[in-house]
């Protein structure tokens, strides 16, 4: 099973359009660029808690419009975002779900807006993700097994030859 950990890490204060409008307070823009460059410790912790039987990839997305295409060969996507990128995170989650890839969302903003977020993902983690990550993985592994069994059942063609069943 391959899991993507995707951090929506951009801080809009370093956006050139906002800077052009006058967001140039001393140190403010530089500080926000530094904050935006920090990795998502929550997602990295979850990746570290993931058993070795799982393949993990970590991706940071500062701006979907400039980031190009993200891979889509995942069995599960874990997505965390800053409030400033919530709508983009929803778009990304929607795109993965449209491809049949389950999405788990978490983080402070998603925890606060769980009812809104669940419309865009398969699961919402409210609060700290570390204690329940094993249960989240177990649930999604079970769902994947059920989906694979259903696909196998659809592939089995049964017909009556007149004397016996042919599979």
What span, in angstroms and rounded, lies between the C-alpha atoms of 126 and 118? 11
The yes-or-no verdict on residue 71 having pLDDT over 70 is yes
Domain residue spans in the chain? 2-166
Q: What is the pLDDT of residue 167?
A: 45
Percent of the chain with pLDDT over 70: 64
User: What is the arithmetic mean of pLDDT over 83-91?
Assistant: 89
Q: What is the pLDDT of residue 141?
A: 81
What superfamily would CATH give domain 2-166? Answer: Response regulator (3.40.50.2300)
Q: What pLDDT digit, counting tens, does each position of 112-135 carry?
A: 999 999 999 988 998 888 998 998
Contacts by 54-57 with C-beta closer than 8 Å and gap 24+? 54/1, 54/2, 54/3, 54/137, 55/1, 55/2, 55/3, 56/2, 56/3, 56/4, 56/5, 57/2, 57/3, 57/4, 57/5
The yes-or-no verdict on residue 66 having pLDDT over 90 is no
What span, in angstroms and rounded, lies between the C-alpha atoms of 157 and 127? 46
Residue 15 and residue 62 in contact, taking contact as beta carbons nearer than 8 Å: no
Q: Which range, 32-36, 104-108, 152-156, has the best average confidence (pLDDT)?
A: 104-108
Q: What is the pLDDT of residue 165?
A: 54
Q: Chain-wide mean pLDDT for the chain?
A: 78
CB atoms under 10 Å from CB of 23, counted, come to: 15
* pTM of the complete model: 0.74
Q: What is the pLDDT of residue 139?
A: 85
The yes-or-no verdict on residue 21 having pLDDT over 50 is yes
């Amino acid at each position: 099973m391959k899991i993507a950990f995707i951090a929506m890490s951009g801080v809009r204060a370093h956006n050139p359009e906002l800077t052009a409008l006058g967001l140039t307070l001393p140190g403010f823009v530089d500080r926000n660029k530094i904050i935006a460059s920090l990795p998502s410790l929550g997602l990295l912790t979850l990746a570290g808690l993931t058993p070795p039987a799982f393949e993990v990839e970590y991706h940071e997305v500062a701006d979907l419009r400039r980031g190009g295409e993200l891979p889509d060969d995942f069995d599960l996507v874990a997505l965390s975002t800053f409030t400033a990128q919530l709508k983009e995170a929803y778009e990304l989650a929607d795109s993965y779900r449209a491809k049949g890839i389950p999405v788990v969302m978490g983080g402070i903003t998603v925890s606060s807006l769980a009812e809104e977020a669940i419309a865009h993902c398969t699961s919402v983690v409210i609060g700290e993700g570390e204690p329940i990550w094993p249960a989240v993985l177990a649930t999604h592994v079970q769902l994947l097994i059920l989906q694979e069994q259903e696909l196998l059942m659809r592939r089995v063609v049964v017909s009556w030859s007149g004397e016996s069943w042919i599979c």
